[in-house]
């Protein structure tokens, strides 16, 4: 497939810059959509195939001129804006965009239990809206969502969700032995490029990718091999974390919901946390990490 014209909404968060770099590296032309008045895109390196457009994300009319001639829209909006993608979808449909990739990039939104989690519910609603637009367009419009589990490198390097490497402590969820899919940011970006370039095989569905299938105890074991020091642990089960989510919802604490939902979704098999049986890695040329590569990733943080 020849190079495509891409519109990317949300190019300055955790994942957006990595996706932008991958699209440009694959010779696609990218228009980054940014909120009017925002200075966040000032840090993006200039590129001959990159254009910046200031828009009002609540107004399809504001976005429509910049989506004219665009083949694919990729949404990487912040988690707090997951339920606000409909105007962008409307603008894409009106502009004749062929493919929309919504801001999912996480848990399996097709799993009946996962879709009830607070952070997943707006993603499911967005999928429903996308399917309505597919029917209305009679095949002219389509979508693809990407499920990748944890952001593996990001979670280990910048959070203590899975384990606190420097503090040598962790909360083990459901015993810490549950296998879950996790993906490097670069592999998620590779999947996005793959969707852009393999639209027929990825049409109107969720695609699943993983850089590794791991357990908490496995990752902690790599860290302990490095220096042999003891770790301290606490334990929590699904019901306890779900209780914490209920409290967060009652308080309107979105950050806590954002943190706790993937903890449940990636620590309980009933939430579909292992994608091994239906991975699309082969379609996108994504190679799973070896044990030595995983060990090096963890120990490199110590």
Q: Last residue of some domain: 193, 208, 223?
A: 208
Q: Is the same domain home to 67 and 168?
A: no
Give the CATH number of the domain where residue 97 resides. Answer: 3.40.50.720
Of all residues in the chain, the percent with pLDDT exceeding 90 is 86
199/270 same-domain check: no
* 249 and 267 housed in the same domain: yes
Residue 81 has pLDDT above 90, yes or no: no
262 within 8 A of 119, measured Cβ to Cβ: yes
Same domain (yes/no): 40, 108: yes
Specify whether 175 is located in the same domain as 285. Answer: yes
Residue 43's Cβ-side half-sphere holds a number of Cα atoms within 13 Å equal to 8
Both 74 and 117 in a single domain?
A: yes
What's the rounded Cα separation, in Å, for the pair 265 and 118? 11
Q: Does the pLDDT of residue 1 top 80, yes or no?
A: no
The secondary structure of residue 71, as a DSSP letter, is S
Write down the pLDDT at residue 258: 84
pLDDT confidence tier of residue 76, bands split at 50, 70 and 90:
very high
pLDDT at site 144 = 99
Same domain, 110 and 86: yes
Contact criterion met (CB below 8 Å) for 76 and 23: no
Q: What is the pLDDT of residues 174-223, one digit of tens each?
A: 999 999 999 999 999 999 999 999 999 999 999 999 999 999 999 999 99
Instruction: Using DSSP, state whether 179 is helix, strand or coil.
Output: coil
CATH of the domain at 278: 3.90.25
Q: Is the pLDDT of residue 231 over 90?
A: yes
Cβ atoms of 148 and 105 within 8 Å: the answer is: yes
Question: Which helix (DSSP H) or strand (DSSP E) does residue 189 occupy?
Answer: helix 185-197
Q: How many domains does the chain have?
A: 2
Do 78 and 162 reside in the same domain of the chain? no
pTM score over 0.85: yes
Note whether 247 and 286 are same-domain residues: yes
Query: 48 vs 2, which has greater pLDDT?
Result: 48
* DSSP secondary structure string for all residues of 105-124: -BS-TTSTTGGGSTTTHHHH
31, 62: one domain: yes
Nearest to 267 by CA among 240, 246, 247: 240
Q: Is the pLDDT of residue 96 over 90?
A: yes
Please check whether residues 169 and 230 belong to one and the same domain: yes
Q: What is the mean pLDDT of residues 52-57?
A: 97
Q: Are 163 and 262 part of one and the same domain?
A: yes
Could you read off the pLDDT of 233-285 as tens digits, one per residue? 999 999 999 999 999 989 999 888 888 999 999 999 999 999 999 999 999 99
What pLDDT digit, counting tens, does each position of 138-157 carry?
Answer: 989 999 999 999 999 999 99
- Report the alpha-carbon distance of residue 228 to residue 79 in Å, rounded: 38
Q: At what angle do helices 60-67 and 86-95 cross, to 10 degrees?
A: 40
pLDDT of residue 187: 99
Domain that includes residue 239, residue range:
150-181+211-299
Q: Looking at residues 54-62, what average pLDDT do you find?
A: 97
Average pLDDT over residues 228-234: 93
Residues facing residue 132 across a β-bridge: none
Q: With beta carbons less than 8 A apart as the criterion, state whether 158 and 295 touch.
A: no
């Amino acid at each position: 497939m020849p190079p495509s014209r891409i519109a990317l909404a949300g190019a300055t968060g955790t994942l957006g810059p990595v996706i932008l770099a991958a699209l440009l590296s694959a010779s696609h032309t990218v228009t980054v959509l940014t909120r009017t008045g925002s200075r966040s895109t000032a840090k993006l390196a200039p590129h001959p195939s990159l254009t910046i457009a200031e828009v009002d994300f609540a107004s399809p009319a504001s976005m429509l001129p910049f989506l004219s001639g665009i083949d694919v829209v990729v949404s990487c909006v912040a988690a707090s804006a997951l339920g606000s993608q409909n105007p962008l979808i409307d603008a894409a449909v009106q502009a004749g965009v062929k493919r929309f990739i919504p801001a999912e990039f996480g848990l399996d939104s097709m799993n009946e239990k996962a879709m009830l989690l607070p952070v997943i519910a707006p993603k499911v609603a967005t999928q429903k809206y996308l399917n309505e637009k597919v029917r209305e367009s009679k095949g002219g419009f389509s979508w693809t969502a990407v499920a990748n589990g944890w952001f593996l490198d990001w979670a280990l390097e910048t959070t203590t969700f899975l384990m606190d490497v420097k503090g040598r402590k962790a909360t083990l969820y459901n015993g810490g032995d549950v296998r879950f899919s996790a993906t490097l940011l670069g592999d998620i970006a590779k999947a996005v490029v793959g969707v852009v370039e393999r639209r027929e095989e990825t049409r109107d569905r969720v695609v699943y990718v993983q850089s590794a299938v791991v357990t908490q105890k496995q990752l902690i074991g790599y860290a302990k091999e490095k220096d042999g020091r003891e770790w301290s642990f606490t334990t929590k089960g699904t019901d306890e974390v779900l209780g914490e989510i209920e409290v967060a919802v009652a308080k309107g604490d979105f950050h806590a919901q954002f943190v706790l939902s993937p903890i449940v979704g990636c620590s309980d098999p009933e939430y579909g946390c292992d994608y091994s049986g239906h991975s699309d890695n082969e379609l996108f040329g994504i190679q799973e990490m070896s044990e030595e590569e995983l060990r090096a990733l963890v120990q490199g943080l110590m």
